[in-house]
A and B are shown apart, each in its own frame.
Chain A
Amino acid sequence: MMNSPAPAPVHPHDLDGRAAALPHRHLLGIEGLTAPEINLILDLADGYVEQNRGTRPKSDVLAGRTVVNLFFENSTRTRTSFELAAKRLGADAINMSVDGSSVKKGETLIDTAMTLNAMHLDVLVVRHQESGAPKLLASKVNCAVINAGDGQHEHPTQALLDALTIRRHKGALKGLTVAICGDILHSRVARSNIHLLNIMGAQVRVVAPPTLLPSAIDRMGVEVHHDMKKGLKDADIVMMLRLQLERMQGQFLPSQREYFHFFGLDYDKLALAKPDALIMHPGPMNRGVEIDSLVADDIHRSVILQQVELGVAVRMACLDLLTRPDSRPNL
């Protein structure tokens, strides 16, 4: 959402369920959103959490609408979450998985987009291994595009569901200290969270070995730490990131053992954070690599499963908002 025109102000307090809308046609990233817009999404999602927990979670807000999940990269969780979100809103949800490695990638991307566009979709949910691919698609289709994760760029709905999780536990994000730990270099989740937490006024730290930090990360409004003990000190939130096992073969890190010793989250390191610090992880976890199993499963500290639950509600809110007529000024 870089370079988009200055968004019109949104007043979350005007929200009476139907009136408010996002002044964006697509959700391609957190960068470019404003705090009121993020609150609007989270407020709406809060309502959907209650709906999902009730006896009749399904509504007809998106009845007759078509949502296509176009995944160029393997994903079970995110795709299922979006599919469920669409179905709970009464939309027709279709999953398309395209194996990015078996075809000439670029051609498939545009060609698939144009083909789908001809079928008159309402929302295209896209995951792609290349940064910027959803942006490219968004320029070629008439429907709303939601970025479900692109390369190492952004994963906005993950950051939104993380924000909702934090907000429900801590009341607000403003003033919290959040430590994001692990493979920042390859993580779109980290980038989206850094943007969102900064927009909402939280203090963000990144904790990782230098080989897993992208260049100039300090320019993104974060405090950089290479020592978990310093990075976690008095943190309100500890966000662990998944470490891709294939990155452990001496290219970025000498070994899994060494990584866990210095950067894996165990009770010793966690003891430095605030006593009520929440433990989060976008999943899927590598138990014993970036997080100790006991910590991950600690029902008093870990909100990892709740993140999954709230993910559906956040995606419902995004689908709802992007299909409201006045959210698409370009049409």
Chain B
Amino acid sequence: MTQRTIYTNARLLDPASGLDQHGSLLVEGNRIAEMGPGLFPDGVPESIQAVDCAGACLAPGLVDLRAQIGEPGLEHKETIPSASRSAAAGGITALAALPNTDPVIDDVAGLEFVARRARETKLVKIFAYAAATRETAGREITEMGLLAEAGAVGFTDGTSALADPLVMRRALAYASTFGRTIFQRPEEPRLASGSMNAGEIATRLGLGGISAMAEIIMLERDLRLVEMTGGRYHASGISTAESVEVIRRAKAKGLKVTCDTAPPYFALTEVDVGDYRTFFKLSPPLRGEMDRRAIVAGLADGTIDAVTSDHQPEDVDSKRVPFAQAAFGAVGLETLLPLTLDLVQKGALPLLRALAAVTCIPADILGLRHLGRLTKGGPADLVIFDPDRPWRVDGEKLQSKSKNTCFDKRPVQGMVLRTVVDGRSVYARTE
């Protein structure tokens, strides 16, 4: 007989439909069967397992657009099981993995490997991007048709930008044939040889700068190519005020573009780099305060569609070196929800808008329109969280194999209590 579980006494939140109501949600097997205020007015039958949410929020599980999960080849930084545990602890029920692995995921075999490992791990749903160009070298486009058939949710060279304009033009045109989007971390590499944001702090520290212009120029160029090809384009990791403005104009023009940012870009600035703190060496680099504010404003008005974890696990040896030699990136799966909720606490975003940026919107961007929402008959991918509960991030306690968080010791509000994937509880907080 199908397992039935009811989550009672919850604040049901579904950003896709605008639902924000006290009630219960019934799961049958791996599906949502029923939800609302008046389920079982005469009491829940004993055959149904009941979970009392004690007034906590119940929302669709988070959908993360951008994570690195270490396999294949980088298992010393992260594995699919460790990334999955980390995601589950962060309330993420589905994630899309970047192809920056060793080897690069640029063929069907690579995609199948990730799919098999994800099935074996069976915690959260793992989708994979395929590289837009072979070996993410930026020269020849991959077999996008075959890769799309094999399940690639989109194409991207991940941490490196597709810099050659001719290759980008062809990738955009070709991918759109298969209904796929090109995901680009826009950064002109010739203007980005440094290790932190260009400006006074970089100059004082004697570090090479990465100019905001590196992002803006590439973004503007890409948008021209989108206009030219009619392709689908998503800009990942928007970090500058001017980038927000560029995207705003492109959307006003009606271009098929979306974009995301990640918590460091609305929660931190270049000042946090301090005295060569390598955990704050990110790509794109942390920017100035005016940029940070513009990112918040972009999220509030919807110019920036989504927030991702931009999870980049790095081992100690990659970070415990002089700043210029250190690897870029920070882990982010477990801090995505509390830092996004921080914007709600500060009054910058309404709760449903903040949740939309990490649930239904990223799901739609990936073309996974059944995910990231609470719908009858839809998959029971859920997160139960207490939006007010304070806690302190502790790098050492993260589930990820790598501990390179840039939010270590930061007090946050909003705690994941339980994560459910296809009706199965994959994470439950133990006090």
A binds B: yes
A contact residues vs B (CB 8 Å cutoff): 2-3, 31, 105-107, 109-110, 128, 130-133, 135-136, 150-154, 188, 191, 214-217, 219-220
Answer whether residue B10 sits at the interface, using C-beta atoms and an 8 A cutoff.
no
Interface of chain B, main secondary structure: loop
Judging by beta carbons under 8 Å apart, are B324 and A214 in contact? Answer: no
Judging by beta carbons under 8 Å apart, are A131 and B317 in contact? Answer: no
Task: Give complex CA distance A153, B202 in Å.
Answer: 9
Q: Could you show 26 A-B contacts with beta carbons less than 8 Å apart?
A: A2-B204, A105-B322, A106-B320, A109-B322, A110-B320, A130-B323, A131-B205, A131-B206, A131-B207, A131-B324, A132-B207, A132-B275, A132-B276, A132-B322, A132-B323, A132-B324, A151-B206, A151-B322, A152-B207, A154-B206, A191-B204, A191-B206, A214-B202, A215-B199, A215-B209, A220-B200
Q: Which chain A positions have C-beta within 8 A of B325? A: 105-106, 130
- Extra contacts, 18 of them, besides A151-B207, A215-B202 (Cβ < 8 A), are A3-B275, A105-B325, A106-B317, A106-B325, A107-B317, A110-B320, A110-B321, A131-B207, A132-B206, A133-B322, A151-B322, A152-B207, A152-B208, A188-B206, A191-B204, A216-B199, A219-B203, A220-B200
Task: Give complex CA distance A37, B375 in Å.
Answer: 68
Task: Give complex CA distance A106, B319 in Å.
Answer: 9
Q: Which chain B positions have C-beta within 8 A of A132? A: 205-207, 275-276, 322-324
Chain B positions 188 through 210: 1 when the CB is less than 8 Å from some CB of chain A, otherwise 0: 00000000001110111111110
Chain A nearest CB from B234 CB (Å) reads 30
Task: Classify chain B: how many residues form its interface, as a range.
Answer: 20 to 34
Answer whether residue B274 sits at the interface, using C-beta atoms and an 8 A cutoff.
yes
Judging by beta carbons under 8 Å apart, are B205 and A153 in contact? Answer: yes
Chain B nearest CB from A80 CB (Å) reads 24
Judging by beta carbons under 8 Å apart, are B321 and A105 in contact? Answer: yes
List residues 202-255 of chain B with CB under 8 A from any CB of chain A. 202-209, 211
Report the 7 A-B pairs with minimum CB-CB distance, sorted nearest first: A106-B321, A153-B206, A130-B322, A132-B276, A152-B206, A131-B206, A216-B200
- By beta carbon, the residue of chain A nearest B209 is A215
Q: Which chain B positions have C-beta within 8 A of A191? A: 203-204, 206
Q: Which chain A positions have C-beta within 8 A of B205? A: 131-132, 153
- By beta carbon, the residue of chain B nearest A110 is B320
Chain A nearest CB from B322 CB (Å) reads 3
Task: Give complex CA distance A134, B401 in Å.
Answer: 29
Chain B nearest CB from A102 CB (Å) reads 15
List residues 242-287 of chain B with CB under 8 A from any CB of chain A. 274-276
A215 touching B321 in the complex, CB below 8 Å, given contacts A31-B204, A132-B276, A191-B204 = no
Task: Give complex CA distance A151, B208 in Å.
Answer: 10
Interface centre among A128, A152, A214, A220 (most CB of B within 10 A): A214
Judging by beta carbons under 8 Å apart, are B276 and A136 in contact? Answer: yes
Chain B nearest CB from A281 CB (Å) reads 20
Judging by beta carbons under 8 Å apart, are A131 and B276 in contact? Answer: yes
Q: Which chain A positions have C-beta within 8 A of B203? A: 191, 214-217, 219-220
Q: Which chain A positions have C-beta within 8 A of B200? A: 215-216, 219-220
Q: Which chain A positions have C-beta within 8 A of B320? A: 106, 110, 136
Task: Give complex CA distance A132, B205 in Å.
Answer: 7
